[in-house]
Structure 1
Amino acid sequence: MNHVLRGLASNAALPPELTDRLIAMADEDVAATLAGRADLSRVQAVALAARVADSAVQLVRTGRLTAADVDPLARPDAALALLERGSGTPEQARRFAVDPLRERRERLAACPGLPSDVVARLAADPDVRVVAELALWTTPDVAARLARHPHAEVRRAVAANEATPPAVLAALATGEGLPPALRCLVCDREAVPFVHDRQCGRLDCDLLPGASCDGSHESTVHDMHQAAIRNPATPVDAVVGFAGNPSMLLRWALAARRDLPGEASARLAEDPVPGVRADLAANPAIGDALIRALAGDRDPDVRRGLAHNPNVPLDVLTGLAGSTRIGSTLLPRIVAASPAEAEDLARSSVPAARMLLALRRDLPAGIRDGLAADPDAKVVKALAPHPGFTEAQLQAMTDRHGAQVAAGVAANPDATPALLEALALRDVPAKKALRAIARHHRATAPALLACFQDSRARQAAAGHPALPPQVIVELLGDPDPQVAEAAAGNPSLPPPAMAELVPR
């Protein structure tokens, strides 16, 4: 891989004539970068696809090539990419529907807007994997027909399709009104009863670990039930019975249903598996009484899940913040806090609760400025990137809390060039602060040069347009290929230096 040429191919300031020269000599890595350029013309896209065949798919997916530019015989993957975008032609779809390669028919089956004759042919494909892929993405009427397919793998896919009619999904979940499946992938290949070894060493085997069949296709039926439970279009009445199912995976899937009734929620709240209770705790469908009960759960994952519930009362959330590691995550309930609730949180005696509020980036000036003077470094660290602070306020944060808040201050969009320089030129600068400075749009050349002492900051700084041009040119030969690549992609790289990098 030529990192310098790949970096140059991404350079926003690359002149069109140099883009043409890069296309003419591009390898796969350079072509992949060129294909992502926003200024690539149709002529250049066609030339790039002719130079590196694999780039045609990417160019199709970014809208640079159309059906008129793609020969399905010469570029089948690109033609399929057009169909996946809904931009292919019916003739192309019909061609792939009879393609001898199963993988191509399978990709076609997932494409939108296929002609009805193509859908009919795919639904009757001799390889059940093609039919299952169609079932996963097809329209409601076709999904309803495929729900009666004799193969359990197809029914599993129908159960996962959100376009499947609710009544059909209910039938798949309960088994009522449908004839039993006759086959599955396991009994297609093995004499039953059979359980696939989880440590199977056969190179030609693609059965899932633990797949089993005793004649009832149990592992596939289990997966079908799980898909139906996870499908929001499945009526909840058809799946609530799984709350007492022996399968942990089915109970776990049910715990996340956003329409879960109270009786099922209460049963799942007593589940012996912490993961089930944790997903239930995060579910906005549960009521206040259950929320308060789960707040006392001994498992930290359950309490952490509850903190992410958008309906958790603030007094419960405050208690959780003081007893559970929630992390520096902006929680839905904090986002939705009213101005009065935000005032209460800002005055909380629990530092972790104030920190959660400080993660918001739309705080009123009064609350923002009050938290800026918080005595707890964790609160100020979370608040430091908040826009609207003056240079004096940001400097005061740094003076009080030092390296603990330096990275947050350096990431503040209103940090001044002088402040960024001061942070970068400290006797012992914080590494995370250097990395933030290297990405800051206001960083100056002295600050960026100071960032070179940290390897990760050096890479970011090498691509910063404020870096002196002569330094950028020197970095093209840096021993770290990622730094050299970033320098080649720097828009401040002088055009003569760009031209010297591209062989004629």
Structure 2
Amino acid sequence: MDPLLCGLAGNPALPVALVDGLIALADPDIDDELARRDDLGRAQAITLAARDEAGGVLLAYEGLLTAADADPTAQPRVALALLDQRAGDPAWARLLAASPVVAHRERLAACPGLPPDVVETLAADPDVGVVVELALWGEPDVAARLARHPHAEVRRAVAANETTPPEVLAALVGGEALPPARHCLVCDREEPPFAHSPDCPRPDCELRPGASCDGSHESTALDILRAALENPATPAEAAAGFADHPSMLLRWALAARPGLPPQAYARLAVDPTPGVRADLASNPAIDDTLIRVLAGDSSPDVRRALAHNPRVPLDVLADLTATTRIGAMPLPRIASATAAEVEELARSPHAAVRALLARRRDLPDGIRDALADDPDAKVVAAVAAHPGLTEARLHAMVDRHSAQVLTGTAANPDATPAVLERVARHRPPVRKALREIARHPRATAPALLPCLADARFRPLAARHPALPPEMVVELLSDPAAPVAEAAAANPSLPLAVMEVLTRRAIDGQAS
């Protein structure tokens, strides 16, 4: 792989004529980069697709190919990509349904809008993997029919299909209305009773870790129940009875479900598995009483999950900040706070609560500025990237809190070149701040120089269009291939240099 040519192939400033020149090289690595360009013409896309099927699949999904551009016999994967977007010829589906390549039939079975006769062919396919894909992605009537399939793996796929009719999912959960399955992946391969070791040494073994069958296909039966319980289309009344099931996996599958009766949620709240309680804590369907119970849970994971519940009361959230590291993710309850609640949060005596509010990026100007002037560095760091902060205020934040607020300041979309240059000059360097500068659209060459000095961010900075052209050219000779490739992809690379690189490659191939 030539890093310069690969970078050049992705350069957004590359003229059409030079794109054609790189296409003429017929190099797989360069073709892969060219196929990802936003400005490819249809003729260029057809040329690339004809040469490489993987690139053709990408171009098909990008909408650059039509049915007239694909041959299902020569490039079946491209045809399948078009069928997957309902842009292919229905006749292809009949051809591919008879393909000797199982992977092609499996991919076809996952495509929408297949002709009825093709669906029938795939439902009767001798390879269970094909039928599984059809059961997973098929229309409601297809899923309903395949729920009675003799292979348990097909039923597992039906249980996971969100278009499966609710009454069919209820039958899969209850089990009484369906004939027993006769096969599973385990007894297809091994004589029951058999339990597959999680540490199986066989490199060609495809069984799931812990899969087992004593004749009742028990591990797959458990998988069917789990898939159905996780499926939002399964009726809540059919699922609720599993809240005290011996299987932790089934109880866990219930914890995030809406619509369960309060008694089921109450049983899950005392589950011995913290993960079950954590998923329950983040479930918007639980009531205030249960929220307050879970706020006192011994597991920090449960309390952290509760903080992300969109219905958690603000007073409970304030209490959680005193006992739990919540992280930097914006919280749904803070995002949905009313104007009055926002004002209340901004006046909170707890800095951690003010910092949660400061992560919002749509605050009223007055509250935003008040948080930027907050005496607590964590609050200021949280609000530092908020749009609308003036250059003077950003400088003042850095004056007061220095390194603690540099990363957020560098990430501010309104940070001026002067602010970014000041952050870049800080000693010792703040690496996360340099990363933000290296990708900031307002960064200048002086701000980018310290980023180039850090090996971790040198490739990112080498791609920045604010670098002077002569510096970009110099970086083409960098010993690190990612840096040289990034420089070749820089739109500030002079056109004359682009032409030299392309011509040199064409001449080298001709010789």
TM-score range, shorter chain: over 0.9
The equivalent of 1:391 in structure 2 is 391
SS of 2:457's partner is: helix
Range with greater deviation from structure 2 (127-136 or 279-288)? 127-136
Q: What CA distance in whole angstroms lies between the structure 1 residues aligned with 2:451 and 2:188?
A: 61
The equivalent of 1:254 in structure 2 is 254
Where do 1:51-450 residues align within 5 Å?
51-450=51-450
Range with greater deviation from structure 2 (72-81 or 298-307)? 72-81
Q: What CA distance in whole angstroms lies between the structure 1 residues aligned with 2:241 and 2:29?
A: 52
Is the 2:274–2:301 contact (alpha carbons within 8 Å) kept by the matching residues of 1?
Answer: yes
Instruction: Check if 1:5 corresponds to 2:5.
Output: yes
Shift in Å, 1:205:
2.1
Shift in Å, 1:383:
0.5
Q: What CA distance in whole angstroms lies between the structure 1 residues aligned with 2:259 and 2:25?
A: 57
Range with greater deviation from structure 2 (3-12 or 447-456)? 447-456
Deviations along 1:370-401, one digit per CA (max 9) or x if unpaired, are 11111111111110000111111000000000
Shift in Å, 1:54:
2.8
SS of 1:455's partner is: coil
Q: What CA distance in whole angstroms lies between the structure 1 residues aligned with 2:134 and 2:470?
A: 57
SS of 1:379's partner is: helix
Is the 1:260–1:286 contact (alpha carbons within 8 Å) kept by the matching residues of 2?
Answer: no
Shift in Å, 1:129:
1.3
Listed as ranges, the gaps of 5+ residues in structure 2 are: 507-511
Is the 1:23–1:51 contact (alpha carbons within 8 Å) kept by the matching residues of 2?
Answer: no
Q: What CA distance in whole angstroms lies between the structure 2 residues aligned with 1:111 and 1:197?
A: 34
Q: What CA distance in whole angstroms lies between the structure 1 residues aligned with 2:178 and 2:108?
A: 28
Q: What CA distance in whole angstroms lies between the structure 1 residues aligned with 2:368 and 2:203?
A: 60
Shift in Å, 1:188:
1.8
Q: What CA distance in whole angstroms lies between the structure 2 residues aligned with 1:472 and 1:275?
A: 50
Deviations along 1:167-216, one digit per CA (max 9) or x if unpaired, are 00100011121111111111122211111122222233211111111111
Deviations along 1:234-290, one digit per CA (max 9) or x if unpaired, are 001111111111111110010010222211000000000000000000000000000
Residue type of the partner of 2:294? L
Shift in Å, 1:491:
0.8
SS of 1:59's partner is: helix
The equivalent of 2:509 in structure 1 is none
Is the 2:53–2:77 contact (alpha carbons within 8 Å) kept by the matching residues of 1?
Answer: no
Residue type of the partner of 2:101? L
Q: TM-score, normalised by structure 2?
A: 0.97
Residue type of the partner of 2:259? D
Q: CA RMSD in A?
A: 1.2
Deviations along 1:310-337, one digit per CA (max 9) or x if unpaired, are 0000000011112101111100000001
Deviations along 1:462-500, one digit per CA (max 9) or x if unpaired, are 111111100000011111211111111111111111111
Query: Aligned pair in 2 of structure 1 residues 41, 402: CA closer, same or farther (>3 Å)?
Result: same
Q: What CA distance in whole angstroms lies between the structure 2 residues aligned with 1:244 and 1:347?
A: 44
Shift in Å, 1:10:
1.0
Q: What CA distance in whole angstroms lies between the structure 1 residues aligned with 2:434 and 2:187?
A: 59
Q: What CA distance in whole angstroms lies between the structure 1 residues aligned with 2:197 and 2:434?
A: 51
Shift in Å, 1:26:
3.8
Q: What CA distance in whole angstroms lies between the structure 2 residues aligned with 1:265 and 1:77?
A: 46
Query: Aligned pair in 2 of structure 1 residues 134, 313: CA closer, same or farther (>3 Å)?
Result: same
SS of 1:86's partner is: coil
Shift in Å, 1:28:
2.4
Residue type of the partner of 1:164? T
Shift in Å, 1:52:
3.1
Q: What CA distance in whole angstroms lies between the structure 1 residues aligned with 2:14 and 2:447?
A: 26
Identity of aligned residues (%): 66
Shift in Å, 1:51:
3.3
Q: What CA distance in whole angstroms lies between the structure 2 residues aligned with 1:271 and 1:426?
A: 50
SS of 2:492's partner is: coil
Residue type of the partner of 1:162? E
The equivalent of 2:19 in structure 1 is 19
Q: What CA distance in whole angstroms lies between the structure 2 residues aligned with 1:44 and 1:59?
A: 10
Is the 2:487–2:493 contact (alpha carbons within 8 Å) kept by the matching residues of 1?
Answer: yes
> 4+ runs of 1 displaced by more than 6 Å?
none
Query: Aligned pair in 2 of structure 1 residues 221, 468: CA closer, same or farther (>3 Å)?
Result: same
Is the 1:278–1:303 contact (alpha carbons within 8 Å) kept by the matching residues of 2?
Answer: yes
Is the 1:28–1:55 contact (alpha carbons within 8 Å) kept by the matching residues of 2?
Answer: no
Range with greater deviation from structure 2 (254-263 or 390-399)? 254-263
Listed as ranges, the gaps of 5+ residues in structure 1 are: none
The equivalent of 1:45 in structure 2 is 45
Deviations along 1:86-139, one digit per CA (max 9) or x if unpaired, are 212121101111111111111110000000000000001111111111000001
Q: What CA distance in whole angstroms lies between the structure 2 residues aligned with 1:286 and 1:54?
A: 47
Shift in Å, 1:427:
4.2
Q: What CA distance in whole angstroms lies between the structure 2 residues aligned with 1:451 and 1:102?
A: 50
Q: What CA distance in whole angstroms lies between the structure 2 residues aligned with 1:426 and 1:351?
A: 26
